[in-house]
Amino acid sequence: MKTIAQRMGTIGLQILAAWAASGGFLCALAQASPKGPVVLTVSGKINAPVASQVVTFDMAMLQAMPQKTWTTRTPWDVHQVTFSGPLLRDVLAAVKASGSDLRAVALNDYRVRIPVSDAEQFDVVVALRMNGKPIPVRTKGPLFIVYPFDANPVLQAKLYYERAIWQLKAIEVE
């Protein structure tokens, strides 16, 4: 026979577990460490572990997040391309980013500044699949920040084309 205190404690634990389970999906994700090779490193004004000051993701972690898919034309391809991946704002939410600007860095050290408002205003995606297939480094992989160009004529400008960074390796939140 459990005592009231014991029962309270059990209930409390259950509540805690539930909260942790339901609400903290993303938080859980944040606390999780990548098991595969790191594909994205996020640093800056985020909720990072004290020791490393960075949050790293592997492909599986990104794949586990809710995926968004749409098709658009781009200036780098003759044909239309279908992109799918997590929304950039979801990724930022996962690391509890509190800055106003992002510095996105590519594998060849190309850097570009992306305002956080872009991620909130548009369905900017961190694409990890192009036309259903994972993106090899030898094209634009592994990650490609893409704007839905066709969906909004405003985006069909040099400004946004510059921000659509491929071979993404890191995001610095400022």
Partner 1 sequence: MRLVAWAKRRLYAGVFMLLMAVVILTLGAGTVVQRRQAGAIESAARIQEDSLMSMAFYLEREAWRFSASMQGKQSGEVHTDQERALRFDILLSRIGLLRQNPSVARLYKTDEYRNLMPRLERWVQRATPLADQGLWHDPAWQSLMTEWQALALDVQALTAAADAVTGRQAEEQVHAVHQQSRWIAWLTATQVVALLLGVVGLWLHLRRVREANLAQKRLNEALAQAKVQAEAVSRGKSQFLANMSHELRTPFNGILGMLGLLDKTRLTAQQQDLVQTARGSAERLLRMLQDLLEVSALEAGQLKMRPEAVDLPGVIRQAHAEIEAAAAQKGLKLVMTGDVNAPVWVSVDAPRLLHILRNLLDNALKYTERGGIEVHVRATDAGDQTDWLIDVQDTGIGMSWETQQSLFERFHMADPGLTRKQSGPGLGLGISRSLAHLMGGDLTVSSTLGRGSTFSLTLRTPVVNARQVTALTSPMAAPPTMALRVLVAEDHPVNRKVLGLMLKNMGHLVTFAEDGLQALEQARRLDFDLILMDIHMPVMDGLSSARAIRALGGHCAQVPIVALTADVMNTAVEQALEAGMNAFLSKPLQREQLEALLPRPRICMA
Q: Which is nearer to partner 1, 26 or 150 (CB)?
A: 150
Q: Which is nearer to partner 1, 59 or 65 (CB)?
A: 59
Q: Candidates 2, 5, 35, 158: give the one binding partner 1 (CB under 8 A).
A: 158
Q: Which of 69, 169, 80, 74 is nearest to 127 (CA)?
A: 69
Strand 133-134 and strand 38-44: pairing?
Answer: unpaired
Q: Which is nearer to partner 1, 50 or 78 (CB)?
A: 78
Q: Which is nearer to partner 1, 94 or 135 (CB)?
A: 135
Q: Candidates 29, 107, 112, 150: give the one binding partner 1 (CB under 8 A).
A: 107
Instruction: Check binding of 137 to partner 1 (CB under 8 A).
Output: yes
Q: DSSP for 88-132, please give it.
A: HHHHHHHTT---SEEEEEETT--EEEEEHHHHHHS--EEE-EETT
Omega before residue 142 within 30° of 0, cis = yes
Q: Candidates 12, 36, 134, 136: give the one binding partner 1 (CB under 8 A).
A: 136
Q: Which of 163, 132, 137 is nearest to 148 (CA)?
A: 163
Q: With contacts defined by CB under 8 A, how many residues of the chain interact with partner 1?
A: 16
Nearest distance in Å: CB 29, partner 1 = 26
CA–CA separation, 111 vs 171, rounded Å?
10
* Interacting residues with partner 1 (CB under 8 A): 75-78, 107-108, 110, 136-140, 156, 158, 161, 167
